[in-house]
Amino acid sequence: MATHRTGKSAIVLSSVLLQMLFYLTAVYFTFYFLSTLCIIIYKSRVLSYPDKPLVQDVGLLFFMAGLELLRLYSGMKGNLQEKEGYLWASLGVTGMTALSSVYYLVWQTYVMRADVILNSVLLSVYGLGGVLGLTTLARFTRRLRPLPRPRLSYLTESFTCLQNVPRISSMRFYFSCRDNAYHCHLRDYFNFRLYRTKRKAKRQQQKRIESWFSTRWMS
């Protein structure tokens, strides 16, 4: 969600929901890691667990923990600093950790009901995080670039125009920003000046006519 702030940019494009989800994922993955490790130890003690698959499952679990740390770091940094590269990296690592979770859900040597529950919840969290990450990335890519600082010539022209504009309520004087430049629109001002010029010329003509009639009448 976008919020307002004062500083380098007027709007904060970081997602609060995504940041909260990162923190919740960190807490849940800690629980997931410890629970999965305990389940693997339990299965190795109770069931006939071959040595090679056991080492593979434990090694993949620690590798998954490293990927999760990288995913959380890049995702939080990209969301807070509004950097698209970190968020893309976080989404890529999310896909790898999701595949690891699918392995524990389907392809490990012994799949227990606790494994199904833990990995299903983790995959749901990853799916929600992917959706929020994509929406945040879309908001980052659509953000407006800041306008360049106006040059001194535009400022002086604008202040000159403001000083020359008469104070009348019927006149509309406005500025518009287009193509990253500042243009002073004086259409109404020049129409008003033309109106005043015509009115002044008409008054002068009436004065000449009145003076001519007065001179002819006096003569």
pLDDT digits (tens, 9 = 90+) for 120-171: 999 999 999 999 999 998 888 876 455 455 454 544 555 455 455 444 434 4
Of 141, 176, 203, which residue constitutes the final position of a domain? 141
Tens of pLDDT, residue by residue over 36-91, are 999 999 999 988 888 888 999 999 999 999 999 999 999 999 988 888 889 999 99
Return d(Cα 93, Cα 71) in angstroms, integer.
6
Considering the domain architecture, whether residues 19 and 125 belong to the same structural domain is answered as yes
Please compute the mean of the pLDDT values over residues 178-191 and round it to a whole number.
49
DSSP letter (8 states) at residue 82: T
Instruction: Kindly state whether residues 46 and 122 are assigned to the same domain.
Output: yes
Per-residue CA distances from 180 to 97, 144, 145, 148, 177 (Å): 44, 11, 10, 7, 6
- Greater pLDDT, 167 or 218: 218
| 131 in a structural domain | yes
DSSP label of 147:
P
Q: Are residues 132 and 188 in the same domain?
A: no
| 109 close to 53: Cβ distance less than 8 angstroms | yes
pLDDT value at 172 more than 60 = no
pLDDT the model gives residue 50? 84
The answer on 59 and 113 residing in a single domain is yes
Question: Is 163 part of any domain?
Answer: yes
Shared domain for 86 and 125, answered yes or no, is yes
DSSP lists the bridge partners of residue 182 as 177
Residues 21 and 88 in one domain: yes
- Does a structural domain hold residue 146? no
Which pair of structure tokens corresponds to residue 214?
């007065």
Are 99 and 165 part of one and the same domain? no
**Which pair of structure tokens corresponds to residue 186?**
């004086």
Q: Assess whether 136 and 163 both reside in one domain.
A: no
113, part of any domain: yes
pLDDT of residue 202: 76
Q: What is the mean pLDDT of residues 166-184?
A: 43
What region, left, alpha or beta, does residue 7 occupy, with left being phi > 0 and alpha being psi -120 to 50 degrees? left
Say what the pLDDT of residue 176 is. Answer: 45
**Does the structure show a pLDDT above 70 at 93?**
yes
Last residue of a domain, one of 141, 162, 184: 141
**pLDDT above 70 coverage of the chain, percent:** 67
Range of the domain at 177: 152-218
Do residue 12 and residue 55 come from a single domain? yes
Q: How far apart are CA 88 and CA 135, in angstroms?
A: 12
Same structural domain for residues 71 and 129? yes
What pTM, to 2 d.p., does this model score?
0.60
Specify whether 99 is located in the same domain as 160.
Answer: no
Residue where a domain terminates, one of 95, 118, 141: 141
Instruction: Name residues whose C-beta falls within 8 Å of residue 187's C-beta, 6 or more positions apart in sequence.
Output: none
